[in-house]
Amino acid sequence: MSQRGRRLAAVVVAALLAVAACGTGSTQSTGPVELTFWTFLDNSAEVAIWNERNPDTTIKAEKVPAQDYYAKLQAAVKAGNAPDIALVEYQFVPSMIACGCLADLTGKVGDGLRDRFPEWVWNQVFQQGKLYGVPQDIAPMALFYRTDVFTQYGLTVPKTWDEYKAQAEKLHAADPSKYLATFATNEAGQWAGLNWQAGARWFGTEGDKWTVSMNPPESKPVADLWQDLISRKLVKAEPDFSTGWVSDLTTGTVATWAAPVWAGSYLKGAMAASTGKWAVAPLPQWDPATPQVGNWGGSSISVTSSSKHADRAAKFIEWLNTDQQSLNSLITKSSIFPADRSGLLDPSFAKPQEFYGGQKIYEIFNEASKQVNPNFTWGPTMTSAFPAFTDEFGKVAGGGQTVSQALDALQRRTVEDMGKQGFAVGG
């Protein structure tokens, strides 16, 4: 990890020392204890395995709705009634560090834990030499595409983004009612992943200040590509996961989706009518000689700073995300793509997938997981930056501004918001 990256947590915490009272730390405990665990997933199966093996440290899992989750977690820590353990998505780890809501787990986990994860994954939870969680799952991106549409219109699977644009032109010229892709007006996660692939770094530090660059030079080719596709109506602008969007992908009106590994399960569940008509290919590249991809999603499991049993909680989250039986349960019951390298050896990932015409799609994602650019950094105010993205990109879809102008607006709004929240911003 770069020296700049290591300073991120220091900058966050220094900017918000006033909220250090969020938690009082932990004490070493003896005797039986019950730890509370907040998560988006149904972790009852894994918890049952742990509890049977560890009667002195039992876990009570509570499935908490994602809506306002982080605001609730921060409030709970400040009020002193927070869970001991909490799921924290990677993009919100800096925000949770900033409020003083996460415990430092340095020295509380096994010495070889770091070696179980790719460098870029470890960088999500390890900042300024301190560990703030154990990675659970990752979401490297690839290209989902409709094999029936590609065959019908003589399209070739694009290996570069230039080829991708050429296929968009060919498809729409042959049938103006069809589009190669949608421009998702509400999906900051996808946009982050595409820019992550291109080498963009939205956040960094210089001295004791944050730097913010939501429209850096590395984003120019990404912005220009999508602006051209939008301007020539070669893609359809609509929110992803909307009713219309699901219908378009199910019927083949839209023929591709640049998406992460979890989309494999989503498509099967939401678009069963298109079984056998999908396949997965590596994400198109900007430079095929040095393939890179972005990540869209994934979570760590952290211990809150108010837990009085951080040592025991750390043992549980290490076990949860590295024990082979636990990983197998998470994979089969929650469809995660594990961050732990050993989890990728699970037999289910080697099976042909009927929905994808018998393709072993996880071979694509396994390779992609090794190609994620390790230098992308999240900032401390993503809970407000993501809604701002939706506002600004909605204007792009309506023709009110260009992609580049939307990114400049997002830059201004992000810097403004960070200033209001007490972060020093320079550059």
- What are the pLDDT digits (tens) for 342-359? 999 999 999 999 999 999
Tell me the backbone φ, ψ of residue 411, rounded to 5 degrees.
-60, -50
SS (H, E, C) 379-401: CCCHHHHHHHHHHHHHHHHCCCC
Q: Tokens for 190, please give them.
A: 């996808």
pLDDT of residue 363: 96
- Using CB atoms within 10 Å of the CB of residue 246, give its burial: 0 to 12 exposed, 13 to 18 middle, 19+ buried: middle
Q: Strand 209-212 and strand 425-426: pairing?
A: parallel
pLDDT of residue 28: 56
164-192 burial, b at 16+ Cβ within 10 Å, e below that, comes to bbebbeebbeeeeebbbbbbbbbbbbbbb
Query: Please, are residues 223 and 175 in contact by the beta-carbon 8 Å criterion?
Result: no
CA Rg, the chain, in Å?
A: 22
Domain around 263: 141-295+355-426
Q: Tokens for 313, please give them.
A: 């909680």
Instruction: With respect to residue 47, please indicate whether it lies within any of the assigned structural domains.
Output: yes
User: Where in 262-378 does DSSP place strands (E)?
Assistant: 278-281, 299-303
CA distance 44 to 28: 26
CA distance 166 to 151: 16
Residue 365 backbone zone (phi > 0: left; psi -120 to 50: alpha; other: beta): alpha
Map residue 301 onto helix, strand or coil.
Answer: strand
- Using CB atoms within 10 Å of the CB of residue 267, give its burial: 0 to 12 exposed, 13 to 18 middle, 19+ buried: buried
Q: How many CA atoms lie within 13 A of 280 on its CB side?
A: 28
How far from 191 is each of 52, 186, 202, CA to CA, in Å? 43, 10, 12
Q: End-to-end distance of the chain based on CA atoms, in angstroms?
A: 22
CA distance 63 to 74: 17
225/362 same-domain check: yes
pLDDT of residue 30: 74
106/73 same-domain check: yes
Instruction: With respect to residue 350, please indicate whether it lies within any of the assigned structural domains.
Output: no
87/221 same-domain check: no
338/377 same-domain check: no
pLDDT of residue 375: 87
Residues in the chain, total: 427
Q: Domain count of the chain?
A: 2
191/132 same-domain check: no
CA distance 84 to 71: 16
191/260 same-domain check: yes
**Mean pLDDT across the chain:** 92
CA distance 219 to 53: 49
11/33 same-domain check: yes
pLDDT of residue 206: 86
pLDDT of residue 6: 36
Q: What is the enclosing helix (H) or strand (E) of 57?
A: strand 57-63
pLDDT of residue 63: 94
100/50 same-domain check: yes
Sheet holding 85-89, edge to edge: 57-63, 33-39, 85-89, 299-303, 134-137
375/306 same-domain check: no
375/237 same-domain check: yes
Low-confidence ranges of the chain (pLDDT < 50): 1-27
320/304 same-domain check: yes
Map residue 127 onto helix, strand or coil.
Answer: strand
159/43 same-domain check: no
